[in-house]
Structure 1
Amino acid sequence: MDPNLQLLKTQSLSFFGRVRMWFDLLDPSLLLASDPEIVKVHTLVGSEEKLHEKEKPSVTLSLSSVHADSGDVIPLLFRAPAFLPIAGPVVVASLLPHTTVKPALFWQFLLQSYNAGFSHANRNSSAEQVRKTSPTQLLLIAGTVSYTSVAAAFPQIVINRLNIRSLAVQTVCRTVVPIPLSAVLAFLNVYTVRSEETESGICVFDCHGNPVGMSKAAGEKAVRETALSRAAHFGTAAAVPNLLVLFLQRTRLFQRNPMLAAPCRHVSAMLVFGLMIPVSFSIFPQLGTIKRENLEAELQVGAIGTDFFYHRGL
Structure 2
Amino acid sequence: MKFFSLFYLGRIDVDKPLYDLKTFSGRFKHFAWMTDPRTCITSNEKLNEAKRLVESYRKGEEPKSTTKEQIKYAMKLYTSAFHPDSGELQNFCGRMSFQVPGGMLITGGMLTFYRTVPAVVLWQFINQSFNAVVNYTNRNANSPTTVTQLGVAYVSATTSALVAAIGCKNYWTKKASPIFQRYVPFAAVAAANCVNIPLMRQNEIINGIDVQDDKGHVVGKSRFAAIKGISQVVLSRITMAAPGMLVLPIIMEKLEQNASFKKATYLHAPFQTGMVGCFLLFMVPAACSIFPQTASMNTSTMRRLEPKLYDEMMKKTDGKPPAKVFYNKGL
TM-score (norm 2): 0.78
CA distance change for structure 1 residues 195 and 310 in 2, over 3 Å: closer, same or farther?
A: same
Matched with 1:272 is 279
Matched with 2:26 is 17
Matched with 1:81 is 97
Are residue 298 (structure 1) and residue 311 (structure 2) matched? Answer: yes
User: Which residue identity is paired with 1:74?
Assistant: Q
Out of 77-86 and 5-14, give the one that drifted further. 5-14
Are residue 205 (structure 1) and residue 212 (structure 2) matched? Answer: yes
TM-score (norm 1): 0.82
Matched with 1:234 is 241
Are residue 219 (structure 1) and residue 219 (structure 2) matched? Answer: no
Out of 235-244 and 38-47, give the one that drifted further. 38-47
SS in structure 2 opposite 1:228?
Answer: helix
For residues 185-214 of structure 1, the C-alpha deviation after alignment (integer angstroms, 9 at most, x for no partner) is 223222221122111111111111111121
Distance between the aligned counterparts of 1:210 and 1:45, measured in 2?
Answer: 24
CA distance change for structure 1 residues 19 and 108 in 2, over 3 Å: closer, same or farther?
A: same
Out of 99-108 and 133-142, give the one that drifted further. 133-142
Matched with 2:8 is none
Matched with 2:262 is 258
Give identity over the alignment, percent: 23
CA shift, 1:90, in A, is 0.8
Matched with 1:310 is 327
Distance between the aligned counterparts of 1:158 and 1:266, measured in 2?
Answer: 25
Distance between the aligned counterparts of 1:46 and 1:204, measured in 2?
Answer: 25
The 5 Å alignment of 1:8-87 reads 8=17, 11-31=20-40, 32-33=42-43, 34=45, 35-44=47-56, 46-47=58-59, 55-87=71-103
User: Which residue identity is paired with 2:323?
Assistant: T
CA shift, 1:226, in A, is 0.7
Of the candidates 132, 136, 141, which is equivalent to residue 116 of structure 1?
A: 132
For residues 72-111 of structure 1, the C-alpha deviation after alignment (integer angstroms, 9 at most, x for no partner) is 1112221221221122101110112434222221111111
CA shift, 1:232, in A, is 1.3
Matched with 2:6 is none
Distance between the aligned counterparts of 2:18 and 2:36, measured in 1?
Answer: 22
Matched with 2:181 is 174
SS in structure 2 opposite 1:119?
Answer: helix
User: Which residue identity is paired with 1:79?
Assistant: R
Distance between the aligned counterparts of 1:226 and 1:134, measured in 2?
Answer: 21
CA distance change for structure 1 residues 93 and 156 in 2, over 3 Å: closer, same or farther?
A: farther
For residues 217-269 of structure 1, the C-alpha deviation after alignment (integer angstroms, 9 at most, x for no partner) is 1111111111110111123331111133335556xxx3675347936544433
Out of 53-62 and 236-245, give the one that drifted further. 53-62
CA shift, 1:175, in A, is 2.0
Distance between the aligned counterparts of 1:114 and 1:76, measured in 2?
Answer: 11
Of the candidates 147, 150, 161, which is equivalent to residue 159 of structure 2?
A: 147
CA distance change for structure 1 residues 208 and 310 in 2, over 3 Å: closer, same or farther?
A: same
Distance between the aligned counterparts of 1:139 and 1:22, measured in 2?
Answer: 30
> Would the aligned equivalents of 2:158 and 2:192 in 1 still touch at CA under 8 Å?
no
